[in-house]
Amino acid sequence: MIGKNFNIAQGVLIGYSDGRNKGVPHIGDNVIINANAVVVGGVKIGNNVLVAPNAFVNFDVPDDSIVIGNPGRIITRNSSPTAKYLVYTVE
């Protein structure tokens, strides 16, 4: 499942995984996944999330967050980190 206003860059992998987080990702609204990032497993990516280039995500990500690195690390924000990057949004 993918929410509205989803942006995806080249080389991104979104996929199924077995094991602890078996399943496929559920991606919220206003999410941007940058180049070569990997999002796998039955995880929930919240609303207004920015996944940095080359990040590896196999865990739940709360709303209004940035994920960087491999393994991924969450940086929480007080406001949407994706607002200035989304130009033509669907309401």
The pLDDT tens digits of the residues spanning 29-73 come to 999 999 999 999 999 999 999 999 999 999 999 999 999 999 999
CATH of the domain spanning 7-76, picked from 2.160.10.10, 3.20.20.100, 3.30.30.60, 3.40.640.10: 2.160.10.10
Domain edges within the chain = 7-76
C-alpha 30, offset from chain centre: 9
Prediction pTM value: 0.92
What's the rounded Cα separation, in Å, for the pair 5 and 31? 7
- Tokens 């929930």 label which residue? 44
